[in-house]
Chain A
């Protein structure tokens, strides 16, 4: 009975995660690229919760006595994977914003310099006329 209950709860939570994710992707609040790992996690949650044989086989394979702990291990690995993915994406974004900031500053300088030069030329043109 308890097995059944935990199974239902796990499946419901996984389904909820999937629904929230697809909602976010649909409304373009979340890029597909970043939703992918979360989707995979939700699906694996459903598969492992409903297919007990697979979870038992897996816990036997990695030598974990309690299948529930094997389930937690899989979830934890997914979370670690997702966080590493985030760190890489963040580093990438930092590099890009730095380059943008530098280019912006240099362009700003160039614009100001050119503006000064143009107004100098205009003044000189007026004097000649």
Chain B
């Protein structure tokens, strides 16, 4: 068996990096992906950035799809999923453009997917509690999401807002067709759960963003909380076929 964190061979894997004004951190992030996930195809979704995001990504050998106007992270990731499906990839991994998700840890997700037969593997900051754990206030919000998911879907997810995810073929096909537009991580979990996919969490450590500005403000966080809780409730009431 291969050692975890060694460079993984990942020819069927598409690494989707949604990026909005991430020119500063993108180059080293893409290099890290090439080092730690050799063979994986890197797709940067440039979400109508105002900086050099697209040209930096191209220079590093990534495929770049540029959106005509800003769709937000959900719309950007979904674009990547549609691309993955049409180009015949069997797995897709989301990696945030700010460098929060260290590609060294991606191997863990791949291992879990291949060896434990899951449909989705999520990286969790809180299973082992190492690395950057975000602010106390945000942690509280995350805990509320965890509890809601437990209540509404009967799943135990320690880090529901983590975008560090690996999707297998079934999850890929499901989400390419139906994906919430903004702040999609939590809703997607409940949706996948209710579509009878197997969801698995593995411990990872994340970093603070490498450069650039976060788009999250206190007011937006409050809006985010309420919006996600509402859509979780709605998702629960919906009939899944």
Contacts and interface: CB of A to CB of B under 8 A. Distances in A.
B67 A102 contact: yes
Given A98-B181, A102-B79, A102-B82, A108 B66 contact: yes
B21 interface: no
Contacts of A105: 45, 65-68, 79
B126 interface: no
**Most chain B beta carbons < 10 A, residue from A94, A105, A106:** A105
A59 B65 CA distance: 60
Interface residues of A, number: 9
Contact of A102 (B63, B64, B78): B78
Contacts of A98: 71, 75, 181
Nearest to A108: B66
Main secondary structure on A side of the interface with B: helix
Contacts of A101: 67-69, 71, 75
B224 interface: no
B69 to A, nearest CB: 6
Contacts, number: 34
Interface in B144-194: 181
B89 interface: no
Interface in B33-83: 45, 63-69, 71, 75, 78-79, 82-83
B175 to A, nearest CB: 13
Given A101-B67, A101-B69, 18 more contacts: A94-B181, A98-B71, A101-B68, A102-B67, A102-B71, A102-B75, A102-B78, A102-B79, A102-B82, A105-B45, A105-B65, A105-B67, A105-B79, A109-B63, A109-B64, A109-B65, A109-B66, A109-B83
Interface of A: 94, 98, 101-102, 104-106, 108-109
26 contacts: A94-B181, A98-B71, A98-B75, A98-B181, A101-B67, A101-B68, A101-B69, A101-B71, A102-B67, A102-B71, A102-B78, A102-B82, A105-B45, A105-B65, A105-B66, A105-B67, A105-B68, A105-B79, A106-B79, A106-B82, A106-B83, A108-B65, A109-B64, A109-B65, A109-B66, A109-B83
